[in-house]
Amino acid sequence: MTGPGDPLRALARERGRLMGELGMTPQDAAWARADAQTIVSLTRRDLRLRLPGPLSRLLRRLARAAR
């Protein structure tokens, strides 16, 4: 869903407005990136499986390549 009623887009707009009011600057990129990652994490299902080391590393590499 990417229309005007998309709640994540509305949240991102509101966060951007608030950051601007707080005086965030490009030098505050690390904080802004962490904030954005928090919002993105709301869209991901977090499956914590205990997998053997080699399989776990393979899955991480595949996930990284898919981005």
The per-residue pLDDT for range 10-42, each reduced to its tens digit, is 887 888 788 888 888 777 778 778 877 877 777
pLDDT > 60? residue 2: no
Instruction: Give pLDDT tens digits for 34-67.
Output: 877 877 777 776 656 576 778 878 888 998 898 8
24 CB-near residues (< 8 Å, 6+ apart): 31, 32
% of the chain surpassing 70 pLDDT? 82
pTM of the model: 0.42
Please state, rounded to an integer, the average pLDDT across all residues of the chain. Answer: 77
pLDDT > 60? residue 3: no
Quote the tokens at residue 14.
């509101």
